[in-house]
Amino acid sequence: MADPRVGYRQVFDTRAALIAGLIATATFALVMVGLDLRTLNAPWFSIRSAASLVAGAGAFENAAAFDASVVPIGLAVYLVVGLALAFIIALLLHRFGLVMGIIGGAILGFSSYVLLYYVLARWLNVHDLSTLTRWPLEVGHVIFGAIAGGVYEWLERARYTRG
């Protein structure tokens, strides 16, 4: 019997990508708080580091302390970048199934770490790259990518169009 999808292409599911991005970004934030607390005894380190990209180096002062004016900025940076990366991961992997979504997402999450912190941060002339080149960030990005790809594939509604 012939495959009924021959001559069709799968349609990208933006709803699933948005939900996957929100879940992956929230998980990334929690993982980073946990890893920063465990490794640096400074749970807000990565979030304040993200905030410093927008608010300047002053946001990075006393990185161990919670600051109600800085932490929301860092979380907003996480959200914007996380949604963009989740959409890219979902767009690249949306035809390959759950297992490939998780594995490919993890690979793309690590690739995004390399791109963001070794290429983009140098191009933007970030003040102190040594704070960004840490193994917890690598782990966080791998987890982010795996969750973004896996949740997208899990929630995706398979729809096809001629093409």
Write the DSSP assignment of 14-27 as a string of letters: HHHHHHHHHHHHHH
Check whether 13 has a pLDDT greater than 80: yes
pLDDT score, position 77: 94
pLDDT classification of 56: cutoffs 50, 70, 90: confident
The per-residue pLDDT for range 105-154, each reduced to its tens digit, is 999 999 999 988 888 777 766 666 566 668 899 999 999 999 999 999 99
Mean pLDDT across 78-91 = 96
Q: What pLDDT, on the 0 to 100 scale, is given for residue 51?
A: 87
